[in-house]
Each structure stands twice: as C-alpha cells, then as structure tokens.
Amino acid sequence: MAGAKKESKTARASVRAGAGGAGGGRVFGDMKRFTPLGGGFCYFAAGDGKNLHLKVDSEELFGLLSAIEGADRTKIDAEVTELAAKFGEKVPAWKALAAKLTAGDLAEAAA
C-alpha cells in the first residue's frame, strides 16, 4: 500500500492496552481513537485495528475522519472537540481540525 507507515511498538502497545491486552477484541465503544503526541502529531486508531501516525492538520487525517459516519462520527467529533479544548492553546491544529469537521457537517446538512 503506497504511503503506508510502519506501526511503532508504542502504537501497538497502545492498541493492545485499549483492547484489553494482547489478543483482545477490537471494540471502539468507549475507547479513545486519538493519542495526542507532541509537535502536532497524533496516533489515530483506525477501524482496521492499526494505529496511524499522522499530523493533526493533515489532509489524510481529515479525509479519514470525514469518511466516518453514524455513531462513530459523533464519538470522533466529541473527542476532537475535547482535545481542542484541552490542547488547543498549545497545538492550534486541534482547534482547526474541530472547526473543519464542524464546517464539513454544516456543508453536508445544507446540501
């Protein structure tokens, strides 16, 4: 797969811990999908069980989040809003991502 990044040991450990240990099932019910990192980067727990290391203000992350629908989208929006409130002063990219996702929702509603 072009542009795929190797998953780090930290990312794998984070996924295992969130899934109830090694061999645990992938359930995103109450699990956080984002692990904020320094420098405007984050790990995003994708639906296929992989943690993606992405820049918060990247088009790749926005494209992934825009494609999510339904209850998962509501959880994603809430989590991004929470991260924007918590880290928005230090990392303005979280606020920008929250605003961009909200603007995308408004555009879809108007269409």
Q: Which pLDDT tens digit goes with each residue over 25-72?
A: 344 557 889 999 988 999 999 888 899 999 999 999 999 999 988 888
| pLDDT surpasses 90 at 16 | no
Residues 6+ apart with CB under 8 A from 14: 35, 43, 45, 51
Asked if residue 97 has pLDDT above 80, the reply is yes
Domain locations along the chain: 9-110
**H helices within 1-111, ranges in order?**
9-18, 59-67, 70-87, 92-110
Please compute the mean of the pLDDT values over residues 74-89 and round it to a whole number: 93
